[in-house]
Amino acid sequence: MKTTIFISRLIPRAGIEILENAGFVVEINQKDRVLTKEELLAGCQGKDGLLCLLTDTIDREFIDQMGQLKGIATMAVGYNNIDLAAAEEKGIPVSNTPGVLTDATADLVWALLMATARRLPEAERYLRAGEFKSWGPMLFLGGDLRGRTLGIIGAGRIGTAVGLRSRGFGMNIIYTDPEKNRVLEEGLGGRRVELNTLLREADYITVHVPLTEETRRLIGRPEFKLMKETAYLINTSRGPVVDEDALVEALQSGIIAGAGLDVFEKEPHIHPALLSLPNAVLLPHIGSATIETRTRMAMMAAENLVAMMRGEVPENLVSQKK
pLDDT for residue 322 is more than 60: no
Instruction: Measure CA 152 to chain center.
Output: 15
Q: Is 102-282 a CATH 3.40.120.10 domain? A: no
Q: Strand 25-28 to strand 49-52: parallel, antiparallel, or no bridges (unpaired)?
A: unpaired
pLDDT digits (tens, 9 = 90+) for 248-270: 999 999 999 999 999 999 999 99
User: What does the pLDDT read at residue 63?
Assistant: 96
Residue 1 has pLDDT above 90, yes or no: no
Q: Give the Cα separation of 214 and 303 in Å (integer).
A: 32
Residue type at position 33: R
What's the confidence (pLDDT) of residue 32? 87
CA 204/CA 151 separation, integer angstroms: 6
Domain boundaries, the chain: 4-100+291-309, 102-282
Residues catalogued as catalytic: 238, 267, 285
Q: What is the pLDDT of residues 86-101, one digit of tens each?
A: 999 999 999 999 999 9
Q: Do the bridges between strand 25-28 and strand 4-7 make them parallel or antiparallel, or are there none, so unpaired? A: parallel
> In the predicted model, what is the mean pLDDT of the chain?
96
Give the fold, CATH level 3, of 4-100+291-309: Rossmann fold (3.40.50)
CB 238 within 8 A of CB 78: yes
State the Cα angle at 157 between 263 and 199, rounded to 5°: 60
What does the pLDDT look like over 3-53, one tens digit per residue?
A: 999 999 999 999 999 999 999 999 999 998 999 999 999 999 999 999 999
Q: Hey, do 4-100+291-309 and 102-282 end up sharing a CATH topology, with the first three levels equal? A: yes
Nearest partner of 24 among 70, 88, 57, judged by Cα = 70
Q: Give pLDDT, residue 320.
A: 58
Question: Average pLDDT for residues 191-203, to the nearest whole number?
Answer: 98
